[in-house]
Every structure is written in C-alpha cells, then in structure tokens.
Structure 1
Amino acid sequence: MKTIVSAAALLAASLFAIPASAENLVLYTSQPNEDAQATVDGFMAANPDIKVDWVRDGTPKIMAKLQAEIEAGNPVADVLLIADTVTLERLKEAGKLMAYKSPEAANYDASLFDADGYYYSTKLITTGIIYNTSASLKPTSWKDLTKPEAKGLVTMPSPLTSGAALIHAQTLAGVDGLGWDFYKDLAANGATAAGGNGGILKAVASGEKAYGMIVDYMPIREKAKGAPVEFV
C-alpha cells in the first residue's frame, strides 16, 4: 500500500522525498484555495518536470476522504498538508506515513517537527477574535463574546469543517474558567458555527456579523489590504 508524505501544514522539503522519476503528485490540502495554488505553483516552478494535482477542503473532510481511500486499499494522496499535528501523529502510529529526514529541519526548533521525520510544520496557527471596526464592543477576551452587546453578532468556523477550529474548541474546553460552559454561553448568546475560516472573514468584514473566531493570518492579511477589521 502506498504511504503518504506529510507536512503538518514543510511542504517543499516533503515533496523532495518523492523519487525524481515521479511525473505527477497528488496533494491533499486544507489551505485556502489561493494559498494552495501559490504553493503548487512555487513547487512546479522549481520542479518543472513534476505536475501537481491538488484537492482542497477542510481538514476533517480531507481526512474523511483519505481514510475512506485507505480503507479501500487505494489512497490517492502523495502529500498531505493539513491543519494539525494530532491527525498526523495518528497516521504515523498507523504506519500510513513515509519518513523523510529533511536537511531544512536543522533551521527549525525541534518541537516543530517529528523527530523521526514523519511530518514537519510549516506554520503555527493561532486562533483569535476578529471584529468589524464599526462594532461598539472592542473585545479583549474570549468571554467578551458572551456579553449582551455581542448577542447574535458572533460567528465561528465549525469543528466539523475546520481542523483549526476543532483543535481550538478542544483546547478551550480544557481551559479553567472557559471549558464547555463557555461554549454553552456562546450558544445562549446566539453565536453561530458553520463552514470554514474564510466564511468567518467574509461575514465580519462585510458587517453581516460583528465578531468571529478565526485563524490569525486571514484578518491580518485583509486588514493590510484595507478591510475594516481588527484582530485580537
């Protein structure tokens, strides 16, 4: 059975583990479409003899597709670029990943990649609060999203769609003073959870919602382009 080269979100180094004779690679990724295309274009520019086909979706959906393929004995992906190391560690334990000792790893903190070379991190994903600059409440903490001023105005990505949202929910659920009670309070305050991070950005930037939970780079990048958003 084919094993998969993974990147917990160091794709270039991982791709170099593919035999030079390979003419086509299939990438499964949870990157936004624009970023995924830029990643593939950059690799193909450096490796013009290799064509990369890619499939993009949120980490949970990408993993459901891949797991179904594995169970059928025909995993299609050659390279995996997803949102969390927890999933990659499980794949490693199941013997589904190929180890590769990247020479680039010497430039990174050892905590950012697997010691055996089964996966490498390309970025740290920080989840925070995005808010529209016209919002009356300027949030400084998670609990601010449960205040009356934010009632019906909060949105977040669904853990069923976004791997980052799944890890974030699991993390906050274990934090003293927040936990599942925080999520119950959000629900009681009319917060909604649906789709991925891109939809959250669009909803808050357009003013449809005033506040949202989101991965850091999206609002930071859009604010630099002039969007009426701030990131906490």
Structure 2
Amino acid sequence: MTFRTALSGTALSAALAALVAGSLATGALAQSGPLVIYTSTPSDQMDQLVARFNESYPDIEIEYFRSGTTEVMNRLEAEFAAGNPMADVLLIADTVVMEGLKAEGRLLAFPEADTTDTDPTLHDSEGHYFSTKLITTGFAYNTDNVSEPASSWSDLLDPAIAGRLTMASPLYSGAAMIHVGTVANTEGFGWDYFETLAEHGAIAGRGNGGVLSAVANGEADYGIIIDYMPLNAAAEGSPIAFVFPDEGVTAVTEPVAILSSATNVEAAQAFVNWQLSEEGQRFHVEQGYLPLRDGIDRPETFPDVEIEIIQADPALLLEQSEEIKQRFADLFGG
C-alpha cells in the first residue's frame, strides 16, 4: 500500500525530524522511572548489581524485595490474590517457578531479548524467561575440621560425615528445590539418598547463607551448598573449600522474567537485556558466577575442572514440587 502526503519537501523533512526526536525522547523516557524487582539474589550482591546497572541506565530507579525463593513467591502470590502485584521483574534461582508462572499467564513474553552468544536451550523458547548465569550445587567442607575430604555424593552417606552435615531446604531455597528434586529423580540416588542422610543425622536449615556460615564457623564439617558462596569465602581467607562431586553437580541458572502485570515494561526489558549483555555477564563473573555468554572466562575463584551437570526436566519438577517439599519436610522438618 502506498501513502501520499501533501507536505512540501521542507515541511516533510521537518516533520520527520520531529518524529525522530519524539521517538528518541520516548525511548529515553521509557528507560527511566521506577522499576520494582523481586529477587532471591543476596542483598549485598543485589546492591552491587543495581549500582552497576545504573551506570548504564541512571534514570531507572530500582527498588527490590529480597528473600528466599519460597518467601518471594509467597509474597507475590498474596499480591496476585489481592489483584495488586507490585513487581515488574522477577529474578530468582528457580526455573520450576518460572514454568508455573508461565503456565498461569503471569509472564510477559520478550522474544526480542538479545540472547547473543548464549545457548538458546537455556532460555524459554517463547521468551518468557531467560537464564542469567550458571550456579551449581555441590558440597563444601571446613578445612580446619576435615583433613581428608569426601569427593563424591555417596561419600556423604558415611554416618561420620552425615552426622556433621547441613544443607539448605527446598521449603526456602529455589536452588535447594532444584537440587533435591533432581537427585530424587536420578537413577542411583532417589529418595533413598535423603532418607539415609536423615537417618545418619544430617540437618537442614533455611538458605545457602546459613549453610555457608555453619561450615565456615566449624559448626558443621560439611554443607551441601551452591558454588560461588564458599569459593568467594575461600578466596577471602575463610577456612572452607568447595567440592565438585565425582558424580556431577545439579545447577540453576537464576532466570529473569518480566511480569505480565509490569507497569514499566521498557525499563524491565532494559534490565533483562543488560543481564544478558557482555557487560552484564562480565559483572556476574566479578561476583563469582559462571557466565552463560560465550567468550567470557569463568571467575578466578573457580578451579580449572570439567563441570558435569546432572539434569532434570523442569516440567517434571514443577509437577512434583509440592511432593518434594512435603517429603523433605517429613525427613528434616519444616
């Protein structure tokens, strides 16, 4: 279809210039204003992330609520029920939760997100959520208390080790939810693995921060924990070391998503793209995370070892999520 205009060449040029200027002004305005993020990222790291992001987007004013994934979702579900969700963006450890929200129509698709140099299988195929980093779960030990450390998941079943072992709970931590569900669905482990740990005296707290503290302080000899916390602590001189078990590690990718009820969609899209950008990925490495983007080296805190991932289907874990939490609570308390 052809459009005709009665404007003269000069008038048309002026009109086009005004249109471009208006578009630029709209774009600048769109990447400004308040942006509310609900996250399970530790507060100190979130503060650093906001500060770095604001170097590129100084006019976006971020406010965030931070807690464990379960408490974040409890708050968000209460807001859904009240018809007043406050968050624009969700940044949590748990793809299982993201799958559930997608199925409920709670996430806004962003198929235009810039996923350059990242594995497309790490993101939702329809663009409802995007992985931002790789966080594995293995185990740590106190180097003052342990002279000959375990090297495998099966080693942890030894009563002498299990009786001095702590772990995060899937009732609080998204990464723990993925870990427990994955192990419970892996041949050679299953729920028998956790039943044996419980029988031999292993305990569960809440989040990974509590596990780090218990092991670093010597209250526990071993802790099942996400990788970057003990690796960062060891680099700062804490008596703790992290083990990538022989059988492999479970993993989460801390996905980011825009809620379908978001009030500042343009700023939310800018935040998602920054997470996936080279700048954002290099920042994640500075914080001690494994990057997703090709061509970016892993953190110096990580040993030069091959990392094997034990995988499970997020849809299956979503289907089993309540059962996983209940069975774990029956074994270790709620």
One of 157, 161, 171 as aligned partner of 1:160: 171
TM-score calculated relative to the size of structure 2: 0.62
Going from structure 1 to structure 2, the CA distance change for 1:43 and 1:86 (only over 3 Å counts) comes to same
Instruction: Tell me, in whole angstroms, the C-alpha distance in 2 between the residues paired with 1:228 and 1:112.
Output: 34
Aligned CA RMSD, in angstroms, stands at 1.8
For 1:78 and 1:19, the matched residues in 2 are separated by 17
TM-aligned CA distance change 1:128 to 1:206, over 3 Å: same
Q: Counterpart of 1:28? A: 38
1:160 Cα deviation (Å)? 0.8
Using the TM superposition, name which of 101-110 and 213-222 deviates more. Answer: 101-110
1:188 deviation in Å? 1.2
Cα deviation digits, residues 184-231 of structure 1 (max 9, x gap) = 111111111011001111110111100010001111111111111111
Partner of 1:5: none
Alignment equivalent of 2:99, drawn from 89, 94, 98: 89
Counterpart of 1:77 in structure 2 is 87
Q: Is the 8 A contact 1:137 1:149 kept in 2?
A: no
Distance 2:148 2:160 in 1: 7
**One-letter amino acid matched to 2:78:** A
For residue 128 of structure 1, the aligned residue among 138, 145, 148 is 138
Q: Give the gaps of 5 or more residues in structure 2.
A: 1-26, 244-334
2:222 is the alignment partner of 1:211: yes
| 1:106-121 mapped onto 2 (5 Å cutoff) | 106-121=116-131
Which structure has the greater CA radius of gyration?
A: 2
CA deviation after TM superposition for structure 1 residue 59, in Å? 0.6
Aligned partners of 1:174 and 1:160: how far apart in 2?
18
Q: 1:46 aligns with which of 52, 56, 59?
A: 56
Q: 5 Å matches for 1:138-177?
A: 138-177=149-188
Name segments (4+ residues, structure 1) moved above 2 Å.
101-104
Counting aligned pairs with the same residue, the percent is 49
For the pair 1:187 / 2:198, whether they are aligned, the reply is yes
CA contact (8 A) 1:172 1:178 kept: yes
Q: Which amino acid aligns with 1:173?
A: A
Distance 1:21 1:43, change over 3 A: closer
Q: Tell me: CA distance 1:102–1:41, structure 2 relative to 1, closer, same or farther (3 Å).
A: farther
Q: Deviations over 1:12-37 (max 9, x none)?
A: xxxxx997165111110000111111
- Whole-angstrom distance in 1 between the partners of 2:177 and 2:83: 27
